[in-house]
Structure 1
Amino acid sequence: MGTVIMHSVVSVDGFIADGNDDVGPLHDWYFNGDIPITEGGDGQYDHSGAGGRIKVSRASAEYVRSTWETIGTIVMGRRLFDLVNGWEAQPPAGDHVVVVSHRPKPEGWHPEASYHFVDDVTAAIGKARELAGERTVAVNAGEAGGQILAAGLVDEVAMDVVPVVFGSGKRYFGGIDGRRLLEDPHVVIQGEGVLHLRFKVRR
């Protein structure tokens, strides 16, 4: 089975958005570089919630590209799904999306898309792994991600740390209770306006 990686862009004080779900400058580094994520510019990753083309610094490009290419399934919470309207059925990476939600998929919403609505985090990861096969399951950080980590279902934590302090807002790990230990980072890459870190979860 593929690795389950919890991932998001985050402020240095641990927030993925402010209290109004505004990400502020957290994603600026996706558009401030010269290198498209795909060498040929075929458009696979050339979209975002802002409708811009993703171009990052050379230092970030290989890491981001290689990470996104391994993703088979993205797991997201219902709040993020509603905020971005499920990326209009075109996830930034991977072929499948599992939404952790007690509500079903909106009626008539992109019936052709491989989006699956599951109301339990353990079942959500099971479904995501089934869909991903040997590829990576990428879990969006936030409340759903924190619940999945607390359930012991996350293998690695990946953070793209941006030099900004929010002070308050939506936490990377949601409202998780208790202490969780991670290994020393096995990926440390300094990009422009971002620091890429990855930690294995200590078992």
Structure 2
Amino acid sequence: MGTVILHSVVSVDGFIADDEGDVGPLHEWYFSGDVPILPGSGSGSGGAEGDEPFDHSGSGGGIRVSRASADYVRSTWDSIGAIVMGRNLFDQVNGWEGKPPAGDHVVVVSHRPKPDGWHPEASYHFVDDVTEAIATARALAGDGTVAVNAGDVGGQILAAGLVDEVAMDVVPVVFGSGRRYFGGIDGQHLLEDPHVVIQGERVLHLRFRVRR
């Protein structure tokens, strides 16, 4: 089965959004380069040109990253088979209107069911347990990566020992407060030395394997 990767763009002080869920300048690097990126180019129907990946605002826009970031971003998106997200993010972006920015499947961790009549054609699956969420996402993704959105649900999945790697796109901004990358996770969780370190423009791409 594919790797489970906890991922998000994050401020240098560890926040993925402000207290209201606004990402502010965190996604500016998606639009500050010269190389166009097409989300989901290797994953069938996942994403469309102009969709912003893991977008918390739902605003979209033409994505152009720096040359240094381009290959990493493309390979990351193209590897994704399924996304796991929490209900707060689903509600905030309305599930990307049934068109995930990468991959073909989405698993939403929620105690509430899918809204009645919401995009019945979309492969969105609602479960109320993080262990079930990862099992469902792995089955749907096959050999593809399971991308877990950071935040409270992502922190719970890491704490449950279900994450293989932590990926952070670190942006040079300090938020001071807001929604934390690891949510309200308790205790220490050791990671290996970073095996990916790529300096782009206005972003530093890092990836760590979780120590078992």
Scaled by the length of structure 1, the TM-score of the pair is 0.97
- Structure 2 distance, partners of 1:133, 1:45, is 24
CA contact (8 A) 1:45 1:93 kept: no
SS in 2 for 1:147: helix
Map of 1:47 onto structure 2? 51
Map of 2:6 onto structure 1? 6
State the 1:53 CA deviation.
1.2
2:140 matches 1:131: yes
- Structure 2 distance, partners of 1:50, 1:31, is 13
State the 1:36 CA deviation.
1.0
Map of 1:168 onto structure 2? 177
- Structure 2 distance, partners of 1:153, 1:51, is 30
| Unmatched segments (≥5 aa) in structure 2 | 42-46, 53-57
SS in 2 for 1:168: coil
State the 1:137 CA deviation.
0.2
- Structure 2 distance, partners of 1:51, 1:195, is 22
- Structure 1 distance, partners of 2:49, 2:100, is 9
Map of 1:106 onto structure 2? 115
Q: Which amino acid aligns with 2:48?
A: Q
Query: Which consecutive segments of 4 or more residues in structure 1 shift more than 3 A?
Result: none
Map of 1:194 onto structure 2? 203
Matches within 5 A, 1:1-203: 1-38=1-38, 44-48=48-52, 49-203=58-212
Q: CA RMSD in A?
A: 1.5
SS in 2 for 1:180: coil
Aligned length, in residue pairs: 202
- Structure 2 distance, partners of 1:130, 1:101, is 19
- Structure 2 distance, partners of 1:14, 1:33, is 24
CA contact (8 A) 1:45 1:92 kept: no
Q: Percent identity?
A: 80
SS in 2 for 1:38: coil
Q: Encode CA deviations 1:54-93: one digit per residue, 9 max, x unaligned.
A: 1111110000000100000000000000000001111110
Q: Encode CA deviations 1:166-189: one digit per residue, 9 max, x unaligned.
A: 011000000000000000000000
- Structure 2 distance, partners of 1:172, 1:194, is 16
State the 1:34 CA deviation.
1.0
| Unmatched segments (≥5 aa) in structure 1 | none
Q: Encode CA deviations 1:143-191: one digit per residue, 9 max, x unaligned.
A: 0000000000000000000000001100000000000000000000000
